[in-house]
Amino acid sequence: MRSGGTRPMGRSLIALLTLLAMLAGAAPSAAQGTEPDAESAPEVRTETDLDPNPEAGRPRVWAIHDSVMLGARTNTRAALPGYEVNFDGFGGFRPQAAPALIARQRHLIDDIVVVALGTNYLGNEANFAADVERTLVALADVDRVIWVNAQVYRRGMLEVNRVLEAAATRWDNVQLADWAGIWRPEYVWAPGDVHLTHPGRDAYAELVRSHVEGDASVGLAPKGAALIEDKRGSLLVTGYAYDPDDEAPVMTRVLINGQVYAEQLARRPRSDLGHLEIGPRHGFRMRLSVPDGVHRVCVEALDLDGKRSRVIGCEQVALHHEPVGSLDRAVPGAGTITLGGWVMDPDRKRPSVAHVYIDGRYVTAVRARVERPDVAAAFGNGSRHGFLFTVPSPPGVHEVCIYGINEMAGWRNPSIGCRTVTV
């Protein structure tokens, strides 16, 4: 390993030294005046699955994992018929519990260990990096450690994968299995989920097999980062993406609820990318008009040959750009109807326009200029959004409806209320 100089000389000696290091590095007691780590490991209770057909002479693989790999155990074992494959893991498993489990299961550990931990990241990058390092110290005497990185189903997973990439550069016996680079929406049960469908279990098992058997392609998936922001009138998507194997610009695309919504070549100048030695033109910037509602928005970068992709950012966004309001009253008079209420376009503070329809026919338009302090208090978007006006109407029973007119982003002119009025 690069961090420790030469490779260990004897496994039994390293195992002893590792155990001593783990004991020496245990959390300080209260008597030492130090607060315990907020992410300290709970008691380890795993769901152990031993190979039902251990055969002498078969190489042994031990996997430590969370709930993602839990669903792919059977598929992984089937993908490695020439190996004895044993599993330890449970839903919610985090890396801080790994060193204790490694010490307990030493009798199962030989030359190859698969680690699939990181999905349950708590948001503290420094703590996660320390947990990863302690895990790798505990596995320093293992010939090959294959760490499966995390599907980017939320922003924190970018931090997880950044930590894992850095760890793999420091340890000679560690390689990354790039689940983030081959993951597809159809591999999980729902947008924002991480648990594997049947195709997902097969793909996950094949990824592990390719690394265990040594025929994995490394470094082909693109890299990058994306920022997704709701900018009062549109969805702004910015960032950078590149293929580590080529300086040519790669295609980026925005997926909304799993469907491709927009595409753009990442070729905008980005002066801050000089340290990557890939050239300066790998940025992208997209301003999108998206329907109101709660959406899962992800940005994906495609490699130059179109065979692989990587999700470089995901956010759950609640968009609200279409007009809102209320028809509070509709009062009949002598050949008239007096209408009162409010209407507001969330994308602007100035008074919005309302259209009046009687019995499905357009009658007039009015700009809502009446002061409404209650609307200002509720939305923080100014107070001049009220209306109070009178329209002519023939005698009889009528349906009166008010529509808010969308003046900026948004897709509809929604009804803000209807009343039945007898004139």
Q: Which helix (H) or strand (E) holds 104?
A: helix 98-104
Single residue among 319, 354, 382 that ends a domain in this structure: 319
The CATH number for 119's domain is 3.40.50.1110
- Do residues 287 and 403 share a domain? no
- Do residues 315 and 333 share a domain? no
- Do residues 169 and 22 share a domain? yes
pLDDT of residue 187: 93
- Per the structure, the complete domain to which residue 236 belongs is given by 223-319
Contact 319, 292 (CB under 8 A): yes
Q: Is residue 21 part of a domain?
A: yes
Integer angstrom CA distances of residue 193 from 91, 150, 221: 14, 12, 22
- Do residues 394 and 370 share a domain? yes
- Do residues 301 and 335 share a domain? no
Single residue among 145, 179, 212 that ends a domain in this structure: 212
User: Does the pLDDT of residue 15 top 70, yes or no?
Assistant: no
- Do residues 279 and 352 share a domain? no
Number of domains making up the chain: 3
**Strand stretches in 258-372, DSSP E:** 259-265, 268-269, 281-288, 293-302, 309-319, 324-332, 336-344, 353-358, 361-367, 370-371
pLDDT band at 23 (very low <50, low <70, confident <90, very high): very low
- Do residues 275 and 416 share a domain? no
Q: What is the torsion angle, in degrees rounded to the nearest 10, for the CA atoms of residue 312, residue 171, residue 60 and residue 150?
A: -10
* pLDDT, greater one: 384 or 33: 384
The CATH number for 392's domain is 2.60.40.10
* Mean pLDDT over each residue of the chain, to the nearest integer: 84
- Do residues 314 and 329 share a domain? no
- Do residues 254 and 276 share a domain? yes
Contact 176, 208 (CB under 8 A): no
Mean pLDDT for 120-142 is 93
* pLDDT, greater one: 22 or 108: 108
Question: Any idea what the Cα angle at residue 127 is, between residues 126 and 132, rounded to 5°?
Answer: 100
- Do residues 208 and 229 share a domain? no
Going by C-beta distance under 8 Å and a sequence separation of 6 or more, which residues neighbour residue 38? Answer: 124, 127
Q: Is residue 217 part of a domain?
A: no
- Do residues 139 and 261 share a domain? no
pLDDT tens readout for residues 204-246: 999 999 999 986 554 456 888 888 988 766 789 999 998 877 8
* Dihedral of alpha carbons 300, 302, 303, 309, sign: positive
Alpha helices in 25-97 (DSSP H): 67-70, 73-79
Edge-first strand listing for the sheet containing 60-65: 84-89, 60-65, 112-116, 144-148, 174-177
pLDDT tens readout for residues 249-283: 999 999 998 889 999 999 999 888 776 677 788 99
Single residue among 271, 293, 319 that ends a domain in this structure: 319
- Do residues 143 and 239 share a domain? no
Flag whether the pTM goes above 0.95: no
Q: Is residue 269 part of a domain?
A: yes
Contact 312, 158 (CB under 8 A): yes
Q: Is residue 106 part of a domain?
A: yes
Q: Is residue 218 part of a domain?
A: no
Per-residue exposure over 309-326, b if at least 16 CB sit within 10 Å of its own CB, e if not: bbbbbbbeeebebbbbbe
Q: Is residue 304 part of a domain?
A: yes
